[in-house]
Amino acid sequence: MPEIATVVCQAILDADGELYRLHAWVVMPNHVHWIVTPVVPVSRMMNLLKGRTARTANQILGRVGRPFWQREYDDHCPRNEESLAALKLYVERNPVEAKLALQPEEFAWSSANPKW
């Protein structure tokens, strides 16, 4: 849903500098990727971001008291600038690989899109 995707995008951007230093991100129809350098512990970062977005997403969906996000998440630590660049490319090309856009910058909910 575009409304929920926009809420998640805005939350990711709003937390930049507070919870992490943001490098790249994409909000896909059924998952989110973002590359950050954490400023706070990762568990705190995830709890805050999931909490902020889940409440609003559930309001949009007309749901109360139901989980929006899965409990678990995967995290990876790039070893150097080269692996960070490769991860950023992977994240921003995710919509192209999923056939949701022809070019990364065409996908509306991504750091590759110039509107953000």
Residue 35 near residue 20, CB atoms below 8 Å: no
Give the residue ranges of DSSP H helices in the chain: 2-14, 42-61, 81-97
DSSP-derived 3-state class of residue 82: helix
- pLDDT 10s digits, 21-48: 999 999 999 899 999 999 999 989 999 9
Q: Which of 19, 59, 13 is nearest to 32 (CA)?
A: 13
Please state the pTM of the whole predicted model.
Answer: 0.87
Residues of the chain with pLDDT under 50: none
The CATH superfamily of 2-106 is Transposase IS200-like (3.30.70.1290)
What are the residue ranges spanned by the domains of the chain?
2-106
Give dist(CA 95, CA 62) in Å, integer.
28
Dihedral sign from CA coordinates of 44, 81, 74, 94: positive
Q: Residue 34's pLDDT is what? A: 92
